[in-house]
Structure 1
Amino acid sequence: MAIATINPTTGEAVKTFEELSETELRQKIGLAFDRWQTYRTTSFEERAGRMHATADLFEKEADLSAELMTTEMGKTVASARAEALKCVHGMRYYADHAAEFLADEPLADPSQVGAVRALGRYQPLGPVLAVMPWNFPMWQVMRFAAPALMAGNVALLKHASNVPQCALYLQDVFRRGGFPEGCFQTLLISSRRVESILRDPRVVAATLTGSEPAGRSVAAICGDEIKHTVMELGGSDPFIVMPSADLDRCAATAVEARVQNNGQSCIAAKRFIVHADVFDAFTDRFVSRMRELTVGDPFEESTDVGPVATEQGRADIEEIVEDAVSAGATVLCGGRRPDGPGWFYPPTVITDITRDMRIYLEEVFGPVASLYRVADIDQALEIANATTFGLGSNAWTDDEVEQERFISDLDAGQVFINGKTTSYPQLPFGGTKRSGYGRELAAHGIREFCNLKTVWVG
């Protein structure tokens, strides 16, 4: 795939970029390794000062970074602006809390191990490669970069090939925020060259957010090299509605949860599993709201849903929908691409889904909702857990017994009760099953790329 900005609203190429030469790539890796030797010795106060300065720049330039995101991958400008400000929040959070999260952990009674002092100490690992996707081109990078840099690591970013301007902006803003050259570098390269970076002994670990095949490849290479990895590989999140739910609030949130980021979010609700007692009432509200959404130019503030990011992405959506319809599924709204330029696909709701349809198990990365009728909580959990994914999950119920059942039995990295799954710097983020392993955000995220060293003093 060429490294290029192709506007998904029009389908037109805006700007193309040359890949780094092999010499340039090795120089950048060498710079990262050399920089780490000195950067790792800096204090938390120094790092925090630079991180706050970068956050201030990011906040001041939120409209600029929002324009880049909307141009390159089509998210609405309102959501792009919100993403930029979320990055600011994440940077400031880790600037303020890194020292606390990575403080020494002393053994209360070191005499238990025959020592006068015994503790665990977190220390940075070194240069870490981040392989990142296009759907949240700033935030998904920042939720790795902010904790990694605050821990004393340095970062190498291999971003998706369709968001090169976002990737270069990130490199530039960290530089202008005061981070020394080599602390954060963008690598404009194709995916085929990732393996050589992972096998370079100067690169000590990797994190990837993306597809299951990409995760499998990176994890296999790092396993062969005995290098630490964190994987976030997407999901097909359930959104369960029980009889006690506030249906008006639930349906409004359901629409937002499905079409956020034009439906291209790993933690977007994708499968709506509704108790039979409220199925018709919820469906009426949900479908009506989906029909009312405005699809169009993502730069217009009134637009609810912009284009899908890539032409292939829209083709993938169409194939899954057509497979379901041909096997007997019912389309309640949407389901057919509009005429005209750009890679638009309408908000779509499908029901009468059976196990032999691809949509039953596969993630649909676009504004398509699957609707299931269930008889009870057991059937709801059975369908919710039926996929190979386990990233996020939503359940709507005011019954405390049901709430505890969902918290206990939903096989996912995250369970949100009466609310939409989202990511917060304060909470750990990650999945189970084929949604990946490891955690980002919170204290867990900053510790992923640290060596927890045992210290014993006799």
Structure 2
Amino acid sequence: MWVGVERRGMHRIDPATGDALEPVAEHDAEDVDAALDEATAAFESWSDTRLEERRRLLTEAADVLRDRTEEFARLMTREMGKPIEGARAEVEKSAWGLDHYAEHAPEYLADEHIGTEAGTKSFVSYEPLGPVLAVMPWNYPFWQVFRFAAPNLVAGNVGLLKHASNVPECALAIESVFEEAGFPEGVFRTLVVGSERAEEVIRDDRVRAVTLTGSEPAGRAVGGAAGEELKPSVLELGGSDPFVVLDDADLAAAASVGASARTLNSGQSCIAAKRFVVHTDVYDEFLERFVAEMESLVVGDPTDEGTDVGPQAREDLMAEVHEQVTASVEAGATVETGGEPLDRDGFFYPPTVLTDVPRDAPLGCEEVFGPAAAVFEVESEAAAVELANDSDLGLGASVWTEDLERGERVARRIESGGVFVNELTKSDPRLPFGGIKDSGYGRELARQGIRAFLNEKTVWVQDTDDQP
């Protein structure tokens, strides 16, 4: 149990109205120390718990999520402005992630037998490390956490969550899911602390590994601290994903999916399509269709069922998007639609499309965390690949063509952690997820994700009867 009494509160603003939400008490140093002790003690028994029991509890947690879907969806909408339909889908996806690892853990964690010499049994055993700290962002406040928690808990690690400061109620609600499902005390614990406290937790000897989803500066800080302590880390640091439309693409589908890919979660997604790279032969038609699709989206109250695009999660985030748009226009870009914050309460920015964007302008070379798209015209497939790769970031990409062999060929040439042909970039518990270059390192999800924080132990068993 937490022991702190006098604590400062985390102050939050409803992004749809600009009104203050009630503060949530922050845990103090004594609380954090108690949580780390509890996690260490819990690991001793949890790591020895039968896999079947860990799988059963994961399934119970998935049931809790589904039973409380509406409650959790409305909590996300209130804290960070996610449109309610997307919030419900996020809870369901989190439950799917739990179910996936409950089902596939025996396969993912099975010993890997390797033939070596006669009379020997040699294999790799996958064994948990201990308490793992997750430093998580606000944009997908449930899914980001459960895609960390599901593989790690079923593998025998225990979880510590340091969530973003504007979603503390989501963080505490996630802890309550595991409590209600029957997980032993200390197996998953939320630390309601500010970012300034994260480094000391990373460096604490009781923490054995760390994962972060966040900005590049945060990744460098977290990765540096973990590296100095010789602790493994996984970093997912965002992207400036290209959406490549080739001359033989289905333009109606590309424009429709492209608008969704750019404005998913109100544009606040690291794997959102951000740079639209379009072959000159179809550029004019695609641009016309794409602008029409963006303008058809409903911007409004995130609690309304018909809303497509809600507010930006914080006022400073909306201001940053507008600064990037303004700077790009000053550098020579043309506004096709949008381009100004909406004149209403809350932090609303409209779906925005810019053309003639210089490559070194903000919309050409930075991650834009809001519903603003840059559209580029290229003369060839080779030029499309070159522009797609002209970024320090490499998280995801999307390629559109009716020739599937061509799509696969282009996909292999794009420098990113994942490429989707005729589909928007997405995370899926069945597939590994992560980036390259300044988008980070390591993988989450699938078999690769569950093994990120396991000891790959080599075991050699020699039959002495076969020794000379």
- Common fold by TM > 0.5: yes
CA distance in 2, matches of 1:352, 1:105: 53
CA RMSD of aligned residues (A): 1.1
Answer yes or no: is the 8 Å Cα contact 2:363–2:373 preserved in 1.
no
% identical equivalent positions: 51
Structural mapping, 1:122-201, within 5 Å: 122-201=126-205
Which one of the candidate residues 56, 67, 70 is aligned to 1:60?
A: 67
C-alpha deviation, 1:399, in angstroms: 2.3
Matched-pair contact (CA < 8 Å) for 1:258–1:368: yes
1:71 aligns with 2:78: yes
CA distance in 1, matches of 2:322, 2:284: 26
Equivalent in 15, 30, 35 of residue 37 of structure 2: 30
Match of 2:24 in 1: 17
1:241 to 239, 242, 245: 245
Deviations 1:163-220 (A, max 9, x none): 0010000001101101101000000001111111111111000000000000000000
**Which letter maps to 1:198?**
I
Please name the residue that 2:214 is paired with: 210
Q: 1:111 aligns with which of 110, 117, 126?
A: 117
Alignment partners' CA distance in 1, 2:13 and 2:149:
26
Structure 2 residue corresponding to 1:97, chosen from 98, 104, 107: 104
Superposition deviation, residue 356 in structure 1: 3.4
1:406-425 equivalences under 5 Å are: 406-425=410-429
Distance 1:373 1:451, change over 3 A: same
Question: Which residue is equivalent to 1:264?
Answer: 268
Identify the residue that residue 442 of structure 2 maps to in structure 1: 438
- The size of the alignment, in residue pairs, is 455
> How far apart, in 2, do the equivalents of 1:365 and 1:66 lie?
21
Q: Output the amino acid matched with 1:64.
A: E
- Does the 8 A contact of 2:352 with 2:373 survive in 1? yes
CA distance in 2, matches of 1:91, 1:359: 36
What's the secondary structure of 1:424's corresponding residue?
Answer: coil
Where do 1:350-365 residues align within 5 Å?
350-365=354-369
Question: Is 1:6 the equivalent of 2:10?
Answer: no
* Distance (Å, rounded) in 1 between the aligned partners of 2:106 and 2:210: 23
Q: Which residue of 2 aligns with 1:82?
A: 89
**1:178 alignment partner AA:** G
Q: Which residue of 1 aligns with 2:47?
A: 40
Q: In structure 2, do the counterparts of structure 1 residues 184 and 319 end up closer, same or farther at CA, with 3 Å as the change threshold?
A: same
SS at match of 2:396: coil
Partner of 1:343: 347
Q: Which amino acid aligns with 1:179?
A: F
For 1:121 and 1:26, how far apart are their aligned partners in 2? 32
* SS of alignment partner, residue 393 of structure 1: strand
Does residue 220 of structure 2 align to residue 226 of structure 1? no
CA deviations 1:230-285 (Å, max 9, x no partner) are 00000000000011111111111001100000000000000000000000010110
- Length-normalised TM-score, structure 1: 0.98
| 2:296 maps to 1:292 | yes
For 1:4 and 1:453, locate their aligned partners in 2 and report how far apart those are by CA, in whole Å.
45
Counterpart amino acid of 2:425?
T
Cα deviation, residue 362, structure 1: 0.3
Any gaps of 5 or more consecutive residues in structure 2?
1-7, 463-468
Question: Whole-Å Cα distance in 2 between the matches of residues 263 and 390 of structure 1?
Answer: 18
TM-score (norm 2): 0.96
The Cα shift of 1:5 comes to: 3.4
Within 5 Å, which residues of 2 pair with 1:275-424? 275-424=279-428
Deviations 1:289-343 (A, max 9, x none): 1111110000000111000001110110011111011122100000011112100
CA distance, structure 2, for counterparts of residue 356 and residue 404 of structure 1: 29
User: 1:110 offset after TM fit, Å?
Assistant: 4.0
Give the drift of 1:405.
2.7
Write out per-residue CA displacement over residues 416-445 of structure 1, whole angstroms, 9 at most, x where no aligned residue.
001111111100000010001000000000
Q: Is the Cα contact below 8 Å between 2:408 and 2:421 reproduced in 1?
A: no
Q: Is contact 1:84–1:139 with CA below 8 Å preserved after alignment?
A: yes
2 CA distance for matches of 1:3 and 1:240?
Answer: 41
Give the CA deviation at 1:402. 2.6
Partners of 2:280 and 2:378 within 8 A in 1: yes
- Asked whether the equivalents of residues 4 and 164 of structure 1 are also in contact (C-alpha less than 8 Å), the reply is no
SS of alignment partner, residue 337 of structure 1: coil
Aligned equivalents of 1:281 and 1:21: distance in 2?
57
Aligned to 2:5: none
**Residue of structure 1 in register with 2:465 after alignment:** none
Are 2:333 and 2:357, in contact at CA under 8 Å, matched by a contact in 1? yes
The CA distance in 2 between the partners of 1:304 and 1:225, in whole Å, is: 44
2:93 maps to amino acid: K
Task: Give the deviation of 1:2 after TM superposition.
Answer: 6.5
Amino acid at match of 2:15: P
Q: Would the aligned equivalents of 1:309 and 1:343 in 2 still touch at CA under 8 Å? A: yes
CA–CA separation in structure 1 for the residues paired with 2:409 and 2:303: 43
CA separation in 2, counterparts of 1:3 and 1:388?
A: 34
Measured in 2, the distance between the counterparts of 1:402 and 1:323 equals 36
Gap runs ≥5 in structure 1: none
